[in-house]
């Protein structure tokens, strides 16, 4: 996707502070962190949101969640706790339309509402 900022990050065309990568997944620090640990996890291959995920994306989505758990342990926030979430479409607050998961931790997070 030519005008997708996260595709550009995945291609190395826009800088990011990468904390984990493999052939399918990239994890990097959010540019406007809202918690001491705020990392975004994306599939390298573009799809817009969870609403566009198909059955075939199940293993990939599972790997992203497990990568988030691993990063949380590496960052030392796992035992105190953290949150992994994806915003989907307008009411979900999605602003970048390349699916991504936020890993948030390092402080007490408010309940959702």
By CB under 6 A, name the binding residues for ligand AMP.
5, 14, 16, 30-32, 40, 87, 93-96
State the binding partner of 4 from ligand AMP, Zn ion, none, CB within 5 to 8 A by kind.
Zn ion
Is residue 100 near Zn ion by the rule CB under 5 A? Answer: no
- Sequence-ordered list of residues with C-beta below 8 angstroms from that of 46, at least 6 positions apart, any chain: 1, 4, 6, 7, 98
First to last CA, the chain: 33
Distance CA 111, CA 57 (A): 29
Q: Are 36 and 105 in contact (CB under 8 A)?
A: yes
The candidate with the shortest Cα–Cα distance to 32, out of 41, 40, 42, is 40
Is-catalytic flag, 102?
no
Nearer to ligand AMP, 2 or 55 (CB): 2
Nearest distance in Å: CB 81, ligand AMP:
20
Interface with Zn ion, residue 88, by CB under 5 A: no
Over the window 37 to 76, marking each residue x when it contacts Zn ion by CB under 5 A and - when it does not, the resulting string is ---------x------------------------------
Instruction: Give the residues across from 25 on adjacent strands.
Output: 43
Active-site residues, by number, are 100
């Amino acid at each position: 996707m030519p005008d997708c900022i996260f595709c550009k990050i995945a291609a190395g065309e826009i800088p990011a502070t990468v904390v984990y990568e493999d052939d399918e997944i990239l994890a990097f620090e959010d540019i406007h962190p809202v918690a001491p640990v705020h990392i975004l996890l994306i599939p390298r291959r573009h799809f817009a949101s969870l609403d566009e995920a198909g059955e075939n994306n199940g293993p990939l989505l599972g790997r992203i969640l497990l990568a988030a758990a691993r990063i949380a342990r590496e960052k030392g926030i796992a035992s105190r706790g953290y949150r992994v979430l994806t915003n989907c479409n307008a009411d979900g607050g999605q602003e970048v339309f390349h699916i991504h998961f936020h890993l948030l931790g390092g402080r007490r997070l408010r309940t959702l509402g």
